[in-house]
Amino acid sequence: MDVEQFRKAGYAAIDQICDYYTSLEQRDVKSAVKPGYLLEQLSTTPPTKGEAFPAIAADFQKLVMPGITHWQHPKFFAYFPSVVTFESILGDMYSSSVSNPGFNWSCSPACTELEQLVMEWMVTILGLDDVFRTSSGKGGGIIGTSASDMCLTAAIAARERALRVLAREHHNANGTATPTEGPTDIPFSVRSESTNKLVIYGSTQTHSIGVKTALLLGLPFRALPVKAEDGYALRGDVLQAAIEEDIKKGFVPFFVIGTVGTTSSGAVDYIAEIGEVVRQYPTAFLHIDAAWAGMAWALPEQREMLRLAEVNKYGDSVCTNAHKWGLVGFDCSLFFVRDRRDLTEALDVTPTYLRTKEADAGTVIDYRNWQLALGRRFRSVKLWFVMRGYGVEGLQAHLRNGIDLCSDLASVVSKDSKFEIVAPPRLGLLCFRLKKEGANAAELDGLNVELNSRLAARPDVHLTQTILKSEDAGEIFCIRFAIGALRTTKQDVDEVWAEVVKDSDTLLLEGDRLKN
Amino acid sequence: MDVEQFRKAGYAAIDQICDYYTSLEQRDVKSAVKPGYLLEQLSTTPPTKGEAFPAIAADFQKLVMPGITHWQHPKFFAYFPSVVTFESILGDMYSSSVSNPGFNWSCSPACTELEQLVMEWMVTILGLDDVFRTSSGKGGGIIGTSASDMCLTAAIAARERALRVLAREHHNANGTATPTEGPTDIPFSVRSESTNKLVIYGSTQTHSIGVKTALLLGLPFRALPVKAEDGYALRGDVLQAAIEEDIKKGFVPFFVIGTVGTTSSGAVDYIAEIGEVVRQYPTAFLHIDAAWAGMAWALPEQREMLRLAEVNKYGDSVCTNAHKWGLVGFDCSLFFVRDRRDLTEALDVTPTYLRTKEADAGTVIDYRNWQLALGRRFRSVKLWFVMRGYGVEGLQAHLRNGIDLCSDLASVVSKDSKFEIVAPPRLGLLCFRLKKEGANAAELDGLNVELNSRLAARPDVHLTQTILKSEDAGEIFCIRFAIGALRTTKQDVDEVWAEVVKDSDTLLLEGDRLKN
C-alpha cells in the first residue's frame, strides 16, 4: 500500500468509525454470536498474495463486527466501563504512525518526556501527593498496561525491598556481609532462606489480581475476611491479627493490597487503619489498587469517601486505570510510586547494547527500568489528547454523570420492594438482588442466579454478577449494574432497568404459579 | 468532540501521517533534542477547559515530532528494526475504535477468535510444528506485548511445571499427599522447599530478558560461556556440565533459554544439542527466544540455518516478535506453547465476576488464563490486516530485501582492510569493528569506542554498539549494523556505510598524526 492508497483507506476507516458511533444505539449491546462463529467463516490457510485493502476492510465489517460486544454502547453496564473517546482513538493513530519500542529515552525522547508530563498532570488532577510526581526526584509515575501488571510490578518491587531489609538485619546480627549473586545486591542466602516466608495480604473482596500476583510469584495470598456492616471493606485490626499470627509461624509480611473501590461492590478499604498496621513492619509495602474508583479522585467531593488523604499518607504505590471510565482507550494504567528506587533497584538491567550516553549521564529516565518488560507503547499521546480535549472539567462532568445516574437508579431500586440493594452504592456501581419474603439464603441465591441467567441470555441487556462474601452476612449472589459509558443517559439506565423489572416479575410470577 | 468533528480531525490525522511518510527521507534518522526539551516547553498544569482538536494536533507536530527518532526511516540501522506498515496502522485504528479489555471470549468473541485464526496462520507461515496450533487441542498461540513478557510467562509456567514434577516425586517417595494452599495444587511444603533451588540457564549472549526474568522471579540466572569459533552460540555440553554441577549442589534446572538470533550478533544456539540435554531433566523446560530472527522462518531457505526443525522438535515454548521486522507495529509478540496446560495450570484464576457460561461449558478460550495480565488489546486485527495486505510473498520479499542488503554490505566490508567482521553476518545483522595493525585488544576497543561515539553524535547515522564475550576471543567491542526497515534501499545502506568509512578514516588519520 502506497501513501495515496493509505490516504484513501484511512479516510474510509474514519468514515466507518463515524458510522459505527452513529449507529451504536441501534445495535444490541452484546454480540449474539456462538462460539466458533468466526473460525468457521475464515480459511486457516494464510493468503499467498497480498490483497487490496478495501476487501480487507469490508471483511472487518462483515465478519469481525458481529462478534464485537459494544463496550461503548450507552447501555453497557457489565464489568466496569472501558471508555474510549475520539481523542483517544486519534492519539493511538498518531502513536502507531511513529511506532517504536520506547524502552530508552533515546528511542524517541518525546515518548519518555510526554509521559513524564502527563503523569504530572494526573497527579494534579487526581489530587495525589507531590511525592508521586517524577519531578519530586523521589517518587514518580509511569503508564502501564493493566492494573494486574502494575500490581505484579509493585509486588516484585516490594519483595526486593523486603529482602533488602532482611539482608540488613542479617548483616547487623552477624556483622558480616554475605556474597551476592547476579545483578542484585541481595545475598543469595538471604533470598534463598527468606523468599518462601513472604506473604501477600488482601481481603476476600480484593480483585483476583491479588491471587494472580501471588500465583505468578509463587507466594501465598491471604484473603482476609470482611463484614457487610463495614461495607465489605478491610479493617486494620483484621490485618494486624493475621500478620501477627503469621509472624509467629515464621512468615514475613511484605505486600498488602488496599483496595479503593472493589470490583464486586465498590468497597473502600480502611486505608488509614491498614496503613498504620503496615508501618509497624519494615518489610511491608502498601499497594493501593484503585483500578476503577481512583479516577474519581478527580472529583473533590468524592475524595474523602475515597480516602485520598489516607492513600497519600500511607500508599507506597497507587494504581488507577484511565482506561476504565477515564476516557482513555485500553490500555492506559496509571501507576505511581512513593520511592522510584523501589522500582529501579528491583528492575534495572543494562546490557551494553542498551546503554546510551544520556542514561550514563543520569540526565534522563529509561522507563524500561521502571517496568517488567523492555519495550513499551507510546501511550502518553492518547492520555495527553484526552486531557487536553476534555480539560479537567470535561473529565469531571463525565464522571459526575455516571455517579448521578447511579444515584438516581439506586433511588428507584430502593423504592421497589421486590429488590434489595446489597452493598452501599458507590460512584457508578450498584449491587442488587431480588428479594422474596420467607425465602432462605439458598432460595434467594437460586432466584437471583436464575434472574442473572435470563438477563445474560438477552443481547440487549449486559450486566454481570458477583458473590459478596462476609463474616456477618455469608455469601450473597447478586447482580452488578455498573454505569460509566460515555454516551449513557438517564433513558438508557431506565430502559435497561425496566427490562430487569420485567424479567424479575415474570420470574416471581412463575415461582408463585409453581407454588400454587 | 462530536462525530463530524472527529471525521475532520481523523482526515487531518491521516493527511499528517501521509505527509510524515512522504517527508521521512528528508529528515535525520535521529532526534537531535537534548534531555528535557519537551518538559521545558509544556506547562505542568493540566488544562481546566477542553481545547479544540486542531490546536492539539498542531502541538503534536510542533512539539512531539522533533523528539521522535525515526524507526521507520530507511537509514535506521540501530538496535533491531521495529517496522510499522500502513496496514498495521489501519488495524490499530479499527481496534481502538471498538476498545475493550478482551480478557474473556465473551468480552468480544471476535477478539479471541481472530487471534486464534491469525496465530494458526503464523504457525503455517513460520513452518512451526502443528502441535503449536490451538486447533491441535494441545498447544497453542497467543499474541503478547513483548518478548520479555513472554519469557517471564514461559518461566512462570515452567516453574509451576517443575514444582508439580517435584511434588509427584515427593508424593511417590512418601506415599502421602501433602496439603496445598490457595489456588494451586502444588503442596506448600514442596513449593516452599524447592522454589529457591530452581535455576535459569542461558548464555552470556542471551538477551537481557534472561537476566530480567531471573530478577523478576528472584531466581538465579546462569550465563554460560560461548566460543567465538562456535559463532557465539551455546553448545549442549556446556549446558550439561553446568546443570550437573548445579544438581550436585542441590539445585534444580527448570528453565533453559535457547536463542535463535542473539541481539548482539545474531548467533543461533545449538538447539538440538540443548534440547537433548533438557530432555534428560523432567523439571526442565526449553524456551526458544527468537524475538528478532524467528520471523525469518517464513523463508524456507533460512529454516535450516535458523534450526527450525530443532525448535519444532525440542521447544516447549517459542517467541518471535512480529513487531520487529515482521511488518506489524509494536506491540505484537507471537508466543507459542507445545502444551497449553503449562499456561493454564499456572495462570488460571476465575472469580465469580469473571465467569461466563461459554467458559463454564469449556467451549471457548479465555486468553486471560494464558497470560500474566487480565486485560488485553485487540492486537490480532493489525496482524490480520498485514498478513492479508502483504500475503506471505510480500512478507518474504521484505525479509529477503533486508538479508540481501546485509549480504551486499558484508561483501563491501570484508573487502575493506580497515575493517573486520567480528561474527558471522546473520540475516540483516552485521557486527564489525575497525582493525589496526599491531594494536592490542585494549587499543582496538578504545579505537572502536571512539568511532562509535563519533557516529552516535551524528543525527544522520543511527547504529548501536555491543560487546561480544567469548572464552576464546575475550571481549570485543563492536558496532552493529541492523538492516530491515521497510523502505531501506541499497543506496541507503551505501550512504550510511560511506559515512562510517569517512569517520573511520578521520579517526585513523588522527591516530597516525598523534603517533608521528
* Residues in a beta bridge with A320: A334
Chain B residue closest to A365 (CA)? B35
User: Which residues on neighbouring strands pair with residue B478, listed in sequence order?
Assistant: B466
Residues A242/B215, Cβ–Cβ less than 8 Å: no
Query: What is the topology classification, in CATH, of domain B390-515?
Result: Aspartate Aminotransferase, domain 1 (3.90.1150)
pLDDT at A325: 95
Angle between helices B86-97 and A3-23 (to 10 degrees): 10
User: Shortest Cα distance from B238 to chain A (angstroms)?
Assistant: 19
Contact B14, B58 (CB under 8 A): no
Annotate B499-511 with three-state secondary structure. HHHHHHHHHHHHH
Which of helix, strand or coil describes residue A227?
Answer: coil
A198/chain B closest Cα distance in angstroms: 10
Q: Which of residues 134-193 of B touch A (CB under 8 A)?
A: 135, 145-149, 152, 156, 159-160, 163, 181-184, 188, 191-193
Residues of chain B with pLDDT > 90, as a percent, come to 90
Separation of CA B290 from chain center: 7
Mean residue pLDDT across chain B:
95
Out of A47, A354, A466, closest to residue B388 by CB:
A47
The CATH class of the A144-350 domain is: alpha beta
Residues of A in contact with B18 (CB under 8 A): 3-4, 6-7, 10
Task: Give residue A35's Cα distance to chain centre.
Answer: 27
Fold annotation for B105-386 = Aspartate Aminotransferase; domain 2 (3.40.640)
Neighbours of B503 (CB within 10 A): 19
pLDDT of residue A178: 55
Please report the pLDDT score of residue B179 as a whole number. Answer: 53
A50 contact residues in B (CB cutoff 8 A): 388-391, 393-394
E strand residue ranges, A85-153: 140-144
Q: Which pLDDT belongs to residue B415?
A: 97
pLDDT given for residue A77 in this prediction: 98
B470 Cβ contact partners less than 8 Å away, ≥ 6 residues apart? B204, B225, B226, B227, B228, B232
Q: Which residue of A has its CA nearest to B82?
A: A100
pLDDT in tens, B239-283: 999 999 999 999 999 999 999 999 999 999 999 999 999 999 999
Of residues A93, A125, A208, nearest to B351 (C-beta)? A208
pLDDT of res. A349: 87
Asked if A56 is an interface residue toward chain B (Cβ–Cβ < 8 A), one would say yes
- How many CB atoms within 10 Å of residue A48? 10
- CA B27 from chain centre, in angstroms, equals 27
Query: What residue of A is the nearest CA neighbor of B109?
Result: A67
Please report the residues numbered 439 through 468 in chain A whose beta carbons come closer than 8 angstroms to any beta carbon of chain B. Answer: 453, 456, 464-467
Interface subset of B 195-234, CB within 8 angstroms of A: 195-196, 207-209, 211-212, 214-218, 220-221
In chain A, which among 230-259 make CB contacts under 8 A with chain B?
none
Cell 457508578 found at: A428
Residue range A143-163, pLDDT digits in tens = 999 999 999 999 999 999 999
Q: Which three cell numbers stand for residue B168?
A: 509427584
| pLDDT tens digits for range A47-70 | 999 999 999 999 999 999 999 999
The pLDDT of residue B495 is: 98
Query: Quick one: pLDDT at residue B516?
Result: 64
**pLDDT, tens only, B143-156:** 999 999 999 999 99
What are the boundaries of each domain within chain A?
1-68, 144-350, 393-515
Contact (Cβ atoms closer than 8 angstroms) between residue A432 and residue A265: no
In CATH terms, A393-515 corresponds, of 3.90.1150.10, 3.40.470.10, 3.40.50.10710, 1.10.3720.10, to 3.90.1150.10
Cβ of A100 and B71 within 8 Å?
Answer: yes
Whether B377 sits inside 8 A of A330 (CB atoms) is yes
Considering all CA atoms of chain A, what is the largest pairwise distance in Å, rounded to the nearest integer?
83
Q: In terms of CA atoms, which chain A residue is nearest residue B86? A: A6
Q: If you compute the radius of gyration of chain A from its CA atoms, what whole number of angstroms results?
A: 25
Of B346, B347, B84, B216, nearest to A373 by C-alpha is: B216
A23 interface with B at CB cutoff 8 Å: no
Contacts of B113 in chain A (CB under 8 A): 36-39, 67
* DSSP secondary structure string for all residues of B77-116: -SSS-----HHHHHHHHHHHHT-----SGGG-HHHHHHHH
Q: What is the pLDDT of residue B273?
A: 98
In a mutational test of the A interface, the residue from B89, B148, B192, B448 whose CB has the highest number of chain A CBs within 10 Å is: B89
Question: What pLDDT, on a 0 to 100 scale, did the predictor assign at position B177?
Answer: 57
Coil/strand/helix, residue B302: helix
> A229: which 3 cell numbers?
456492616
Q: What whole-number percentage of chain A has pLDDT above 70? A: 98
Mean pLDDT of chain A: 95
Q: What is the distance in angstroms between the Cα of B55 and the nearest Cα belonging to chain A?
A: 10
- Residues B163-217 pLDDT 10s: 999 999 887 887 665 555 555 678 888 998 999 999 999 999 999 999 999 999 9
Provide the residue type at A132 as one letter. F
- Is the N-terminal amide bond of A331 cis, ω within 30° of 0? yes
As to burial, measured by CB atoms within 10 angstroms (0-12 exposed, 13-18 middle, 19+ buried), residue A177 is: exposed
What residues of chain B lie within 8 A of the CB of A206, using their CB? none
Confidence of residue A491 (pLDDT cuts 50, 70, 90): very high
Among all residues of chain A, which has the CA nearest to that of B42? A117
A371 and chain B in contact, CB less than 8 A: no
Residue A106 and residue B65: Cβ atoms within 8 Å?
no
CB atoms within 10 A of CB A18: 18
As given in the structure block, the three cell numbers for residue B438 are 599491531
Q: A325 at the B interface (CB within 8 A)?
A: no
Strand ranges (E), A325-449: 333-337, 419-421, 429-434
- CA–CA dist B108, B358 (Å, integer): 12
Residue B164 near residue B141, CB atoms below 8 Å = no
Out of A13, A45, A49, closest to residue B94 by CB: A13
CATH classification (class only), B1-66: mainly alpha
For B:382-421, CB contacts with A below 8 A are 384-385, 387-394
Do B124 and A46 count as a contact with CB atoms less than 8 A apart? yes
pTM value? Answer: 0.97
How many other C-beta atoms are found inside a 10 Å radius of the C-beta of residue A3?
14
B175 versus B438: the higher-pLDDT residue is: B438
How many whole angstroms separate alpha carbon B454 and alpha carbon B464?
12
Q: Which residues of B touch A109 (CB under 8 A)?
A: 31, 33, 35, 37-38, 67, 69
The CATH-assigned architecture of domain A1-68 is: Up-down Bundle (1.20)
Give the number of other Cβ atoms within 10 Å of residue B404's Cβ: 13
Distance from CA of B261 to the nearest CA of A (A): 15
**Tens-place pLDDT, residues A166-219:** 999 887 887 665 555 555 678 888 998 999 999 999 999 999 999 999 999 999
Strands (E), B296-365: 317-321, 333-337
pLDDT of residue B512: 78
Q: Is B73 on the interface with A (CB under 8 A)?
A: no
Q: A232 near A279, Cβ under 8 Å?
A: no
Q: In a mutagenesis test of the B interface, which of A84, A93, A321, A393 is the best target, namely the one with the most B β-carbons within 10 Å?
A: A93
Q: Distance between CA A497 and CA A504 in Å, rounded? A: 10
Give contacts of A147 with chain B, Cβ < 8 Å. 374
- For residue A182, the model assigns a pLDDT of 52
CA distance A446 to A454: 12
For residue A205, list chain B residues with Cβ-Cβ distance below 8 A: none
| B508 inside 8 A of chain A by CB | no
User: Cβ of B501 under 8 Å from any chain A Cβ?
Assistant: no
Cβ atoms of B91 and B323 closer than 8 Å: no
